[in-house]
Amino acid sequence: MENQVLSLEQMNQLKELGVDTSRASMAIYSIYAGEEKEYNILAANGVFAEKQKHDRFGYGIHNVVSFDKKPVFTSQDIIELLPHEVTNYADYQLLIDKHRDSYSVSYENTDSFLVSFCRVDLLDCLYEMILWVIDNDYLETK
């Protein structure tokens, strides 16, 4: 699951900052295999309907799947949350670039950068940017 979705700690931080995490396209579900074994699986958010009692073969799943799903954002989810443009004395557009060994996410225009984050992992850049956008009141939160 590493580098595919934000960590649960990162998701909790976004939730505390007022981001609606229910819009996440993925979720972590707990699967129980016996009394002492628990596995976390990454699946599409909503893949297990909360009122679902049986799988498609008719076997009961209420003792196997935890319906306490934990939504997690993908890179695409964060891109969709980020404003396409922000204004700070000028208009700055969101740009995502791939470099030889890293990625950068920035708000810039033809004259200057407003902010830029460069990391080896795109998801890390996007996470830094969503925090910056929230801290600077460019994203409406609860």
pLDDT-derived band at 19 (thresholds 50, 70, 90) equals very high
- pLDDT tens digits, 105-116: 999 999 999 999
- pLDDT tens digits, 66-86: 556 789 999 999 999 999 999
Count of alpha carbons within 13 angstroms of residue 96, beta-carbon side:
18
For the entire predicted model, the pTM comes to 0.82
- CB-based contacts of 3: which residues, under 8 Å, 6+ apart? 121, 123
- For the chain, the C-alpha Rg in angstroms (whole number) is 19
Residue pair 71/11 in contact (Cβ under 8 Å)? The answer is yes
